[in-house]
Amino acid sequence: MEKEKQKEEESPKELPSDVLYLIIEKFDIDDLFSFRKVCKHWKMTSDYWSDFMASDSPLIVQKTPNAERSCSFYSIPEARTFDTSLSCFNGFSFARFSSGYMIMVGDKPDLLLINPFARKRIEIPKQDDLFSVKNSSFKKAIVANSSSSSEEFIVVILNDHEFNESNMLVYQSRVRNPAIYSSRDNGDRFNVDDVVVFHKTIYAITRDAEIGVVMLEPQGLRFLNLMNNPENYGLLKLVNSNDDQLLVVNHLPYPRFEIYMIDFSARTWIKLRTLGDRSLFSVKCNPKCYALSNPARWGFRSNCFYRLSSCYPKCEVFSMDGQFIETISIPEYPVPTNTTSQLLNYDWCFRPRRDVVDYGNLIESLSH
């Protein structure tokens, strides 16, 4: 009886919460993930994990393109690197980070989507030559769950094709064969540069500054009739600001940029002079954008534009009027000796924000 009592007293659940906190704040991502599985008590008292996952502060992905395990996440405010040793990269190269997933490009299947925080894995089967994804041609992917069932999801992938044309693939978990939206379909030469989930609807923007809703039935884009489109535009990116506004970032010759808000009630573009208590985060060579509200809470400046280099360990900060503020240096993650690549890919990682779509918004009705 005394031995059983002693064993119970020494069990993991008897560790005080403050001691647990001191332990887990030193952990990497894999350690945090495994820690919660030890016992129910540890899962319930690991507030650090909950805070880590709930944080809106972006991390920076550091990934060697063709190395199997070389991956880390760097926090600018904490000046700390979180390592991970996920071993499911074999045969794939890292392309982008999007919607909480690492997008890995391979041969069969074409795409592997890995959520490093939830250990969730999605395989996108290889398509025909029209949508043969390569690392150099991959642009973006978004993953969204259905509002009616958390088990159903939609993956939208943008891919550049030959002759400077773009294709869009819509993969639904409920449908066996993905739909491919080609710029050559039916003579409708739309070249989609970006997609985003906003108000449970998937919006797309073309190279001609047209904004449309991605439709599943009938397949295609239903364009919005908007006024005051920008006269001069470069690369256009959509941003869900997470405060009930859909933004468009107009990337002009570096380092210039413009920010617009889409006013759906007035059906017009509105140029913004300030972001208020928000900041934007982009990647220089593939300037997709994210918005962060109340950035000072997470250690970032308000009303600024953070532009991360995709190949060099630095992040440049600009004011809304395009004035350079500072360069933030990022510690270089060591390149493993078992790879021929000496480069790292850098990308922004916002911890999983659960995008949700309503299938009803993606099906044409008689009212339109």
The answer on pLDDT for 192 being more than 70 is: yes
Measured CA distances, 37 to 29, 41, 73, 115, 350 (Å):
13, 10, 22, 18, 24
Rounded Cα gap, residues 173 and 357, in angstroms: 13
Q: Is there a domain that residue 251 lies in?
A: yes
Band (336; pLDDT cuts 50, 70, 90): low
Can you tell me which residue has the tokens 């119970």?
Answer: 8
DSSP 38: S
pLDDT value at position 266?
A: 96
Query: How far is residue 228 CA from its own chain's centroid?
Result: 29
Kindly state whether residues 63 and 176 are assigned to the same domain.
yes
Residues 127 and 276 in one domain: no
- CA separation, residue 286 to residues 96, 136, 363 (Å): 9, 11, 30
Name 231's Cβ contacts closer than 8 Å, sequence gap at least 6.
none
Quote the pLDDT of residue 136. Answer: 58
Residue that wins the pLDDT comparison between 132 and 342 = 132
Q: Tell me the mean pLDDT in the region 34-61.
A: 71
**Residues 268 and 362 placed together within one structural domain of the fold:** no
Give residue 340's identity as a one-letter amino acid code. Answer: T
Q: What is the largest CA-CA distance in the chain?
A: 82
At residue 118, does pLDDT exceed 90? no
Of 41-45, 59-63, 125-129, least confident by mean pLDDT is: 41-45
pLDDT given for residue 11 in this prediction: 47
The answer to whether the Cα torsion of 228, 229, 233, 238 is positive or negative is positive
Residue 302 sits in the same domain as residue 153? no
Provide mean pLDDT across the span 256-263.
93
Alpha-carbon span 11 to 316, nearest angstrom: 49
**175 and 249, same domain (yes or no):** no
Specify the range with the lowest mean pLDDT, choosing from 51-55, 112-116, 126-130, 276-280: 126-130
Number of domains observed in the structure of the chain? 3
Residue-range definition of the domain harbouring residue 65: 59-225+348-368
Supply φ then ψ for residue 82, to 5 degrees: -105, 120
Q: Is residue 152 domain-resident?
A: yes
Instruction: Give pTM, 2 decimals.
Output: 0.84
89 and 206 share one domain: yes
Structural contact between residues 191 and 205, judged by C-beta atoms closer than 8 angstroms = no
What is the structure's pLDDT at 322? 87
